[in-house]
Amino acid sequence: MRIIKKYSNRRLYDTSASAYLNLEELAALIRGGEEIEVVDASNGEDLTRAVLLQVVLEVQGARDLLPVGLLHRLIRFHGDHPMQKLATRQLGAGLELLDAQLRQVERSVPWASAARPDVAPEPAARAEPPAQASEAGEELDALRDRLAALEERLKR
């Protein structure tokens, strides 16, 4: 695991390479298969989630990741508001489910691996059984349905 220190001036420092890096370079490390942990240089607080979210939003252009209405609600219902807790819990659960299912698809379908999407995978020694590919497709369809239902529930 690579440790990245974030300084108060918002600079990122890769302790393994002894060099500063920007968000694009951090994204390239992750695409190359590196696992990273980002810590606050002054107090050691874990900032990994916040920095990875920043990479997704700024580098990968996922500005449409969450609906604007949901973002307004998350901001409006701050602190101990019961709706904030409900929305945060439901959103977190939905995203954890998506992560688990994507991880399962990556393990069962060679071309789905996110480690190096810019490089074509090596031909497999053995072809994937059609039943497993079909199951993965069905799981993705079920996940899409559950995510759509979750979004619908959050709109209400």
pLDDT band of 69, cuts 50, 70, 90: confident
Most confident of 42-56, 98-112, 127-141: 42-56
Can you tell me the mean pLDDT for 22-49?
A: 94
Nearest to 7 by CA among 54, 50, 42, 38: 42
Can you tell me the mean pLDDT for 57-79?
A: 80
Show me where the domains of the chain are located. 2-59, 68-119+126-155
> How confident is the model over 92-124, as pLDDT tens digits?
899 899 999 988 888 888 776 655 454 444 444
Nearest to 40 by CA among 7, 3, 83: 7
Q: What is the pLDDT of residue 126?
A: 44
C-beta atoms surrounding 86 within 10 Å:
13
The phi-psi region of residue 104 (left if phi > 0; otherwise alpha if psi is between -120 and 50; otherwise beta) is: alpha
pTM of the model: 0.61
Q: 116 or 38, which is more confident?
A: 38
